[in-house]
Copies of this chain bind each other. A is one copy, B any other.
Amino acid sequence: MPRFVVIGRTATASGDFLPDDVPGTSGRLDVLLRCVRAALLSSHGLRGDVSVHLVLGGGPRAPRTLRIDGASARFIRPDERSLATLVRKTLALVNVAADAASGLGADAPPGAAVDTALAFVEVKPGVAVASSGLEASLASHDARAPLFVLEEGGPDLRDAADVAAPGATFVLGDHLGFAEDARALLAAHGARPIAVGPRSLHAEDVITIVLNEIDRRSA
């Protein structure tokens, strides 16, 4: 069950963006949406053994982390517009729950209340949200499984013996790279740098190449 954690430093955590202009109004959430497709979809549908975490660091509700599990998610479409709608509706539900919990809003939908910051709360089948950032993904990482951070110039993925190990987690930056606090947190958790090749690529391409390597070793 590989997990991909993509850090969107400016990506909106509130879901407030224009569907007709996701790149221009969401803090580049579009970068993360494309990672969802790369992580979860093959030609024959969902990859049931993969989960993807989107760390949303932008806007008034930040940080939040949205997790989608290939094992139980439904109606995951490959196009950006459908993925944007999924994320927007999910975050809108969480907004209602958060406002209710703080006495500001209407009643929370059942099961949508967020109680502790590090816990992922399922909002709809296979889609869960935590009201914290990278910490939430690392708290649920099995310490016995490898933790990789994708870095230009790191050791080659193809030379790493354990990329296909159960529970392996791969942490990726968005177009802005990693912030210092994220780097410190990853180092504290023993994350090992790894690279997919000699060229700097979009996060979604990195995910595609990692999964190809895992597919090859698992075949």
Which B residues lie within 8 Å of A205 (CB)? 38, 42, 208, 212
CA distance A127 to B44 in the complex (A): 32
Check if A42 sits within 8 Å of B208, measured CB to CB.
no
Closest residue of chain B to A43, judged by CB?
Answer: B200
CA distance A200 to B211 in the complex (A): 12
Stretch of A61-69, A79-87, A88-96, A107-115 at the chain-chain interface: A79-87
Check if A202 sits within 8 Å of B23, measured CB to CB.
no
Copies of this chain in its oligomeric complex: 2
Most central of A20, A197, A199 by chain B CB within 10 Å: A199
Which size bracket describes the interface of A in this complex? 35 or more
Within residues 165 to 215 of chain A, which ones have a CB less than 8 A from any CB in chain B?
A: 175, 196-202, 205, 208-209, 212, 215
Which B residues lie within 8 Å of A41 (CB)? 202
Check if B23 sits within 8 Å of A20, measured CB to CB.
no
* Given known contacts A30-B79, A34-B78, A79-B30, A212 and B200 CB-to-CB distance under 8 angstroms: no
CA distance A216 to B38 in the complex (A): 21
Is A77 at the interface (CB under 8 A from chain B)?
Answer: yes
Check if B80 sits within 8 Å of A79, measured CB to CB.
yes
Q: State which of B31, B79, B198 has its C-beta within 8 Å of the C-beta of A215.
A: B198
